[in-house]
């Protein structure tokens, strides 16, 4: 019996300054609007958030300037539509105003069983796997997309 799977995504970014400094002000000013857009987008399932309704307080690395975004979507097409074809795309194009260019993988995708919420720790492990092994069905990016079936087969044969 095949269990339904959803797509988890994590991305990390290193801010140009602390979240409460002028360099980050416009990014912060857009957070609520962009997060609300995600939550109302077709295929959205879940996102990591704190009491402030965003994930900027979660620290997954020793570097306090690295922030995490972690979410779950019904399909990769739903995520692509949100990232590249919604108002999020305009904010995404401005990322260099707020974030350093990273020299390691900063976005990773993988499949989770429907109803499962990934932890920040798991997300970091997937990012590390992508960096160590390249694109696999276990951890991949928008450059090389895998299906849930490919991911299940890959994990069964590990």
Domain of 69, CATH number, reads 3.30.70.100
The DSSP secondary structure of 20-57, one letter per residue, reads TSGGGHHHHHHHHHHHHHHHHSTTEEEE---TTSSSTT
Range from 26-35, 87-96, 129-138, 145-154 carrying the lowest mean pLDDT: 145-154
Q: How many domains does the chain have?
A: 1
- Is residue 155 very low, low, confident or very high in pLDDT (cuts 50, 70, 90)? confident
Q: What percentage of the chain exceeds 70 in pLDDT?
A: 99
Closest among 14, 137, 9 to 83, alpha carbons compared? 9
- Is residue 154 very low, low, confident or very high in pLDDT (cuts 50, 70, 90)? confident
Domain that holds residue 102: 5-156
Closest among 128, 122, 86 to 106, alpha carbons compared? 128
Average pLDDT over residues 63-86: 96
The CA angle 21-26-28, to the nearest 5 degrees, is 70
Residues ≥6 apart with Cβ < 8 Å to 152: 5, 111
Q: pLDDT tens across 96-139, in order?
A: 999 999 999 999 999 999 999 999 999 999 999 999 999 999 99
The CA angle 48-54-58, to the nearest 5 degrees, is 65
């Amino acid at each position: 019996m095949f269990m339904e799977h959803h797509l988890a995504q994590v991305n990390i970014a290193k801010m140009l300054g602390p979240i409460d400094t002028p360099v980050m002000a416009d990014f912060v000013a857009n957070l609520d609007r962009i997060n609300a857009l995600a939550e109302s987008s077709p295929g959205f399932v879940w996102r990591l958030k704190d009491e402030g309704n965003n994930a900027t307080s979660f620290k997954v690395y020793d570097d306090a300037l690295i922030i995490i975004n972690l979410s779950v979507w019904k399909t990769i097409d739903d995520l692509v539509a949100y990232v590249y074809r919604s108002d999020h795309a305009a904010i995404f194009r401005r990322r260099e105003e707020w974030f350093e260019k990273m020299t390691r993988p900063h976005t990773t995708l993988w499949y989770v069983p429907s109803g499962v919420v990934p932890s920040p720790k798991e997300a970091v492990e997937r990012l590390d796997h992508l960096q160590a092994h390249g694109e696999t069905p276990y951890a991949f990016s928008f450059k090389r997309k895998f299906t849930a079936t490919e991911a299940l087969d890959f994990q069964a044969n590990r």
